[in-house]
Amino acid sequence: MSISATTSRAVQRRLETASRITALSRRFTADRGLAGFTIEEVCDEVGVSRRTFFNYFPSKEEAVLGVDEVEEMNAFGEHFLARGSRGWPVVIDDIVELATDYMHSAGLDTAAHLELIRAIGREPRLLARFVGMGRERDVALAALIAKRESVQTDDPRVRACVTVISALMRSAGERLFDPDAPDDFGLALSDSLAAIRAVLDTSPPRKARQ
């Protein structure tokens, strides 16, 4: 079952509010820089209180990056583990499917991704935090995979899965700059996974019919 199918209305509203705060924070950062706007401006335009803002994000920087790492990974991990072990080839498929579903639930689309890139371009110091978040996510993902497959986190298959997922995320992000690429991060992820599988297909070539 997908994340969106089991997301409560309260959680969905929280995701939508967080998405609106993040979208505006990114636009303000890209246009003015982090010092060029206040949290109060974001709150006024989104229609939430300052207290509500801090219930979602501890700072403007985190609002721009747009994630609650703990809540995000807990929700993802719950659904990933609930599927149970079904063999190593399915691990990556499950991660891509659940990640895509989460992005749709949170309203994360191509425009949101490109706005983040613009914001980081205006405030390069955000890049270090963005890269650090990626590393933290890899560690958490490795722990989830190891737990589901009943192996140690240093198992080569765990490391391989995390490496492939990281490559897929990077490839999908880069593809969104291509005007001919799918206008959807989830589709870009799926297409990148299909391309990797095609390249790594080791089955013998079929002989041409005489």
pTM of the full structure: 0.73
Residue 27, in any domain of the structure: yes
Provide long-range contacts, Cβ within 8 A and 24+ apart, for 47-54.
Answer: 48/17, 48/21, 52/17, 53/21
Residue 208, in any domain of the structure: no
Q: Distance between CA 197 and CA 203 in Å, rounded?
A: 11
Give the residue ranges of DSSP H helices in the chain. 3-6, 9-32, 39-46, 50-56, 60-65, 69-82, 88-105, 110-122, 125-149, 156-175, 185-200
The total of other beta-carbon atoms located within 10 Å of residue 200's CB is 8
Enclosing domain of residue 106? 3-200
Residue 209, in any domain of the structure: no
Q: Distance between CA 25 and CA 42 in Å, rounded?
A: 7
pLDDT at 53: 95
Residue 188, in any domain of the structure: yes
pLDDT tens digits along 135-148: 888 999 999 999 99
pLDDT at 13: 79
Contact 36, 28 (CB under 8 A): yes
pLDDT at 1: 41
Give the CB-side neighbour count of residue 38, counting CA atoms within 13 A.
5
Per-residue pLDDT of the chain (210 residues; tens, 9 = 90+): 444 544 567 667 777 888 889 999 999 999 999 999 999 999 999 999 999 999 989 999 999 988 655 666 777 888 999 999 998 989 999 998 888 877 666 555 677 778 888 999 999 989 888 888 888 889 999 999 999 999 999 999 999 999 999 888 888 777 766 666 556 777 778 888 888 888 887 555 555 554
Q: Distance between CA 41 and CA 53 in Å, rounded?
A: 11
Q: What is the CATH number of the domain that holds 141?
A: 1.10.357.10
Q: How many domains does the chain have?
A: 1
